[in-house]
Amino acid sequence: MSWNADRAKSRIREHLKTVPAVDGNIALDSARALATVRKSGLIGRLPVRQAFLVEGVHLYGQLLDFDDLVAESGTETEASHRKMLRFLSMHYRVWDAIVDGDDGDRVDYHGARLHAVVTSPAGNPAAQIAKAVALARRLAEAAQKLGQVHGFPSRIRFGIDHGRCLAMTTGRSHEKDTLFLGRPANHAAKLAAADTQEGIFLTDTAQRRAKPGAVRKSAGRTVLDESYVAEAVRNFAFDSLDRRVAEVALDIAAPQFHFKRPPLPLSGVKFADLTPAKSVRMAMASIFADIDGFTHFVDEAIEGGANEIRQAVTTVHVIREELNSVLKEDFDGKRVRFIGDCIHGCVGEDERADNGPKTVRQAVMCANAMRSSFDHCLAAVAPDAEIDLAVGIEYGVTPMTRLGYRGDHSVRCAASRATIDAERTQQAIEGGGIRLGVVARQVAEPVVRKIFAAGPLMSFDAASDLLAAPQSPAVRIVRSEPAARSHTAPSRRL
């Protein structure tokens, strides 16, 4: 199957019917929103079709040693992937302790990036930030201790920001995603990924809202004052975290990962069926499709009030659901997760053996189809929105599995050099467009490399014609009538 304009329009009409409800009062009243969140327990258990405005701290942890674990001597092998997954599993189990207690809420894990939200004490940003700092310090200590027990390097860089975000949950069972959209989540994530120096770092906003004296200048850089961190650690206990660390430290029986090649299409892979012992692994293209400018769009909506928030919720819901539909229904791809306003998915081609050129071509066609659907979405919900689509693609052997504890809280995972580089490739795009990672460029067919290595995304129709896709009528015409190829005569005048 491939992309079809009428089918996309029809899907968009259906997506419009499932837009999460935004109650005016709840959306604009953080205390009520939090009350609802608390009542429902974990943020991940938020009602699927409701959106909330949540004020709190966003804590991102970037596992700095992840890149080195993905490959052994530069090569990704089953052994290196097993080791990398055991490493992630260990960290995910520790962070899961945050969920089990009432210290904060786990939001999402995406490979080496872990995200938690701290929403208490309600209405006290300085205390929320102090609690997040204390939590980060305890997580860093836990990682160090467990790393020694399990034989992993475990440096973490934390990014912390504070403010209001739009929260919404979509999906069912093991395919559920809770998203936090807005400046605090975005800036904290960027701060965590900005450098390779471990430690705890606050954004400018978080620094302003933290208790006076929380940060100081040291050698021209702003660092957390150690006495502030020590006081925060004394003031906030994390009993469940301590219990979990002790438990994981004793549990040296690491999960055993066994890989097999998944039956295609990848869209048929269900995370619910995956366990460490039943993991899948094959060469696939990782696709990161991000809505450029969306954080600013959401921030303006949050400032603008209930109507603007409804508009933003509608826009992000329709766009990401449609991007998911394009990936899954039109190109047989598998969504790994939504990450904020971004969708991470994979496509793979050929049942028996890896086929790099065909897979990258399929990913590129998918990206351009996403662009066409994106345009239809904008026309339907936000014609004036200054947002664009940026897609990064990388190719490589990637394992897929579930990590952490069994049940609804287990974590979907597709992690490899390709997934890391696909995201980095996407992040390198200025504005909208498409870019292929180094490996994807190497394996791509010459025509794909020439036109789509880096540049603007096109419509599905233009991409079909330029890549000589079988469904292109221009291609079919030339195949049946080779003389139907345009030409330019030597200069003449009428």
Whichever of 299 and 332 has its CB closer to other proteins, that residue is: 332
Whichever of 89 and 373 has its CB closer to other proteins, that residue is: 373
Distances (CA, A) of 135 to 97, 130, 215, 401, 410: 11, 9, 17, 28, 21
Q: Cα angle at 276 between 41 and 250, to 5 degrees?
A: 70
Cis peptide before 121 (omega within 30 of 0): yes
Restricting to residues 186-245, name those near other proteins by CB under 8 A: none
Instruction: Give the binding range for other proteins (CB under 8 A) out of 183-191, 227-235, 397-405, 447-455.
Output: 447-455
Question: Please, which residues have CB within 8 angstroms of residue 184's CB and are 6 or more apart in sequence?
Answer: 56, 57, 58, 161, 162, 163, 164, 165, 205
- Amino acid 15 reads H
Asked if 379 interacts with other proteins (CB under 8 A), we say no
Asked if 453 interacts with other proteins (CB under 8 A), we say no
Least Å from the CB of residue 7 to other proteins: 8
Asked if 475 interacts with other proteins (CB under 8 A), we say yes
Asked if 122 interacts with other proteins (CB under 8 A), we say no
Restricting to residues 43-82, name those near other proteins by CB under 8 A: none
- Residue from 240, 275, 311, 459 that binds other proteins (CB under 8 A)? 459
Closest CA to 202 of 221, 182, 181, 179: 221
Asked if 39 interacts with other proteins (CB under 8 A), we say no
Asked if 355 interacts with other proteins (CB under 8 A), we say no
Least Å from the CB of residue 379 to other proteins: 13
Asked if 331 interacts with other proteins (CB under 8 A), we say no
Q: Are 53 and 37 in contact (CB under 8 A)?
A: no
Residue 139 phi/psi, 5° resolution? Answer: -65, -40
The encoded tokens of residue 137 equal 């310090």
Asked if 406 interacts with other proteins (CB under 8 A), we say no
Asked if 329 interacts with other proteins (CB under 8 A), we say no
Asked if 358 interacts with other proteins (CB under 8 A), we say no
- Residue from 219, 253, 353, 483 that binds other proteins (CB under 8 A)? 483
HEC per residue, 91-152: HHHHHHHHHHCCCCEEEEEECCEEEEEECCCCCCHHHHHHHHHHHHHHHHHHHHHHHHHHCC
Closest CA to 316 of 334, 336, 335, 299: 299
Asked if 474 interacts with other proteins (CB under 8 A), we say yes
Asked if 2 interacts with other proteins (CB under 8 A), we say yes
Least Å from the CB of residue 474 to other proteins: 4
Whichever of 341 and 461 has its CB closer to other proteins, that residue is: 461
Q: Are 118 and 128 in contact (CB under 8 A)?
A: yes
Distance from C-alpha of 325 to C-alpha of 284, rounded to nearest angstrom? 19
- Amino acid 324 reads N
Asked if 458 interacts with other proteins (CB under 8 A), we say yes
Restricting to residues 422-441, name those near other proteins by CB under 8 A: none
Closest CA to 392 of 363, 354, 356: 363
Asked if 468 interacts with other proteins (CB under 8 A), we say yes
The encoded tokens of residue 60 equal 């991102």
Asked if 486 interacts with other proteins (CB under 8 A), we say yes
Asked if 493 interacts with other proteins (CB under 8 A), we say yes
Q: Using CB under 8 A as the criterion, which residues of the chain lie in contact with other proteins when the complex forms?
A: 2-6, 372, 446-447, 450-451, 456, 458-462, 464-466, 468-469, 471-475, 477-478, 480-481, 483-494
